[in-house]
Amino acid sequence: MNERLQDIQGFLREILVPRIERGDTVLDLTSGLGRDTLFLAQAVGPHGRVHAFDIQVAALAETRRLLEEEGVADRVVLHEADHARVREFVTEPVKAAMFNLGYLPGSDHSVTTQARSTVRALQGVLELLMEKGVLVLTVYRGHPGGEEEAGAVEKFLTALPRKIYSVLEGRYINQGNNTPYWILIQKKRGELG
Residue-level pLDDT at 176: 78
Is the separation of the CB atoms in 27 and 89 below 8 Å? no
- Domain carrying residue 12: 8-187
Residue-level pLDDT at 106: 62
Is the separation of the CB atoms in 132 and 187 below 8 Å? yes
Query: Residue 192: inside a domain, yes or no?
Result: no
Query: Residue 193: inside a domain, yes or no?
Result: no
If you ran DSSP here, which 8-state letter would residue 171 be given? -
Using CA atoms, how far apart are residues 141 and 151, in angstroms rounded to an integer?
10
Overall number of domains in the chain: 1
94-100 vs 25-28, strand pairing mode: parallel
Q: What is the pLDDT of residues 73-84, one digit of tens each?
A: 999 999 999 999
Query: Residue 59: inside a domain, yes or no?
Result: yes
Using CA atoms, how far apart are residues 85 and 79, in angstroms rounded to an integer?
10
Q: What is the pLDDT of residues 49-71, one digit of tens each?
A: 999 999 989 999 999 999 999 99
Is the separation of the CB atoms in 38 and 67 below 8 Å? yes
Query: Residue 160: inside a domain, yes or no?
Result: yes
Query: Residue 1: inside a domain, yes or no?
Result: no
Residue-level pLDDT at 162: 94
Query: Residue 25: inside a domain, yes or no?
Result: yes
Using CA atoms, how far apart are residues 29 and 52, in angstroms rounded to an integer?
6
DSSP per residue, 91-146: -S-EEEEEEE-SB-TTS-TT-B--HHHHHHHHHHHHHHEEEEEEEEEEE--SSTTH
Query: Residue 162: inside a domain, yes or no?
Result: yes
Domain of 105, CATH number, reads 3.40.50.150
Residue-level pLDDT at 108: 62
Residue-level pLDDT at 175: 83
Low-confidence residues of the chain: pLDDT under 70:
1-6, 103-113, 190-193
Using CA atoms, how far apart are residues 11 and 7, in angstroms rounded to an integer?
6
Is the separation of the CB atoms in 44 and 94 below 8 Å? no
**What average pLDDT is seen over the chain?**
89
Query: Residue 163: inside a domain, yes or no?
Result: yes
Q: How much of the chain is in helix, strand and coil states, percent to nearest 5?
A: 40, 25, 35
Q: Count other Cβ atoms within 10 Å, centred on residue 53.
A: 26
- Sheet containing 129-139, strands listed edge to edge, beginning at the edge strand earlier in sequence: 76-80, 49-54, 25-28, 94-100, 129-139, 181-187, 165-170
Q: Is 132 left (phi over 0), alpha (psi -120 to 50) or beta?
A: left
